Amino acid sequence: MTDYNLIFGAVLLFNVAVTFRASSYYKKYFPSPTDTNKNTSRDETSTEAKSSEELTPLSGENDGRDSFRDNDKEKHDADLERGGDPPVVSTSVNAASDNAANIRHAQLLRKYLIVYLLAALSDWLQGPYVYALYDAYGYSQHEIAVLFVAGFGSSMVFGSFIGGMADQCGRRKFIILFAVIYAMSCMTKHFKSFSILMVGRLLGGVATSLLFSVFEAWLIGAHASAGLMSHLGKAFSTAQYGNSIIAIIAGQIANKAANHAEFKPSAEGSGFYTGGYLGPFDVSLVALIVCGLLASALWEENYGESPAENDDDEKAKSSASGALKKAYYTTISNPDILSCGIISSLF
C-alpha cells in the first residue's frame, strides 16, 4: 500500500523549500555576489564621503579661494538636495532605519505567529472528526445536521458584533476568551448527551467568530502602534502560509490521535466517553491552553479606535446597530467586498 504520509511529507518539504527560495529571507541569509558588491561599494562610498567631510581647509594665503570653494560646494549640495540624487550619508541613515524596522517587525511577527498558529492548529485538529464523532455516538443524520446548523448559526449571530466588543474591551482579552470558550467546547465532546453537545456547538460557533476576526485585528493594531504598517502585507502572507502548513501537520497529528486508543465509555453505562475520535479534541484542548497562556504572556493589549466624546455622528456609527448598517452599505456599495463575501459564503 502506498505510504501517503511519505508523499505528503516530501511535497511539504518541497513546498517549503520553493517558498523560502522565493522569499526575502533567502536573500538575507544567502546574498548573491551582486548584492554583496553593491553593499561593499555603498559602504566604501559612504566612508569616502565621511572622510572628505572631516578634511579642514588650509589657512593663510588661500583663505579667499578656499572660501569660494566652500560656497560653491554648498551651492552644489543644495542643488543635489533639490533635484539630484540623495546624499550618501542619508542613504546610510535610511538603511539603518529600515534594518531597525525589520528587526522590530520580526520580533512582532514571532510573537504573533506562535499564538495564532496554535489557535489555527486547535481548529484544524477538530474539523475532520466532528461528524465522525457524532456518528460514533449513534445520532441520526437529521440530529447531526441540527448540531451543525446550530454551530453555523451561532457563528453568524455572534460574529456580527463580537469583533466590536473586542475593539472596546481589549483584543488580547478576547483572544484569551477564545481559548477558554473553544476549550470548553472540546470538553463537551466527551459527553453522549445531545443537549451538552448542542452547548458545545454554540460555544464553538462563538470561538470560530473570534478566531477569524480578533487575531487579525490585534495584528493590525500592533503594527499601527509600532509604526510598521508598511510590513503588514508581509505579516499576513506569512501567517496564511504558516496556516496552510499547520493544516497539513494537524491532519497527521489528528489521525494519530484518533487511532491511539479505543472509543469507549469511561465506565459501564456512563455517558462520558474517551479515546477514538475524541483524541483530536483532547490534543486541541492542550493547544488551546498553551495558546491562551502565551497570549497573556507575550502580547500587549490593544483596542480599536474610539470616537471623540463630542462627536455624536461617530458615536452613532460605533453603536451595534450603526456598525451593522455601515457594514451593510459598505458591502453593497463595494463590488470587491460583495464578491468576496458571496464566494466565502458559497464555499
What distance in Å separates the CA atoms of residue 20 and residue 12, rounded to the nearest whole number? 12
> Nearest-CA neighbor of 285 among 126, 109, 131?
126
What is the DSSP pairing of strand 273-274 with strand 264-265?
A: antiparallel
pLDDT at position 37: 59
What distance in Å separates the CA atoms of residue 294 and residue 118, rounded to the nearest whole number? 10
Average pLDDT over every residue of 58-68: 47
Residues 304, 163 contacting (CB under 8 angstroms): no
pLDDT at position 337 over 70: yes
Q: What is the mean pLDDT of the chain?
A: 82
Give the model confidence (pLDDT) of 72-99 as tens digits.
555 555 554 555 545 544 566 677 788 8
Any idea which residue has 450603526 for its cell? 322
Band the pLDDT of 17: cuts 50, 70, 90: confident
pLDDT at position 305: 74
pLDDT at position 58: 43
Give the model confidence (pLDDT) of 171-207 as tens digits.
999 999 999 999 999 999 999 999 999 999 999 999 9
What distance in Å separates the CA atoms of residue 239 and residue 231, rounded to the nearest whole number? 13
What distance in Å separates the CA atoms of residue 136 and residue 326, rounded to the nearest whole number? 44
pLDDT at position 59: 46
Burial letters for 300-321: b for 16+ Cβ neighbours within 10 Å, e otherwise? eebbbeeeeeeeeeeeeebeee
Show the DSSP H helices in 127-160 as ranges: 130-136, 141-159
Q: Which residue has the higher pLDDT, 77 or 65?
A: 77
Beta bridge partners, 264, equal 274
pLDDT at position 36: 56
pLDDT at position 93: 67
pLDDT at position 77: 56
pLDDT at position 222 over 70: yes
Residues 303, 221 contacting (CB under 8 angstroms): yes
* Backbone Cα Rg of the chain: 29
pLDDT at position 22 over 60: yes
**What is the distance of C-alpha 71 from the center of its chain?**
54
Give the model confidence (pLDDT) of 276-325 as tens digits.
999 999 999 999 999 999 999 999 999 987 655 445 555 545 555 677 78
Residues present in the chain in total = 347
Band the pLDDT of 247: cuts 50, 70, 90: very high
pLDDT at position 27: 72
**Over pLDDT 70: what percentage of the chain?**
75
What distance in Å separates the CA atoms of residue 302 and residue 167, rounded to the nearest whole number? 8
Torsion of CA 235, 240, 246, 251, to 10 degrees: 170
**Over pLDDT 90: what percentage of the chain?**
54
pLDDT at position 21 over 50: yes
> Nearest-CA neighbor of 74 among 25, 131, 139, 82?
82
Torsion of CA 117, 122, 123, 125, to 10 degrees: 120
Average pLDDT over every residue of 219-234: 94
Q: Which residue has the higher pLDDT, 323 or 2?
A: 323
pLDDT at position 61: 46
Q: Where are the beta strands (DSSP E) in the chain?
A: 264-265, 273-274
Residues 334, 206 contacting (CB under 8 angstroms): no
Band the pLDDT of 56: cuts 50, 70, 90: very low
Give the model confidence (pLDDT) of 67-76 as tens digits.
544 555 555 5
Other Cβ atoms within 10 Å of 89 Cβ, number = 12
* Torsion sign, CA atoms 247, 251, 257, 258: positive
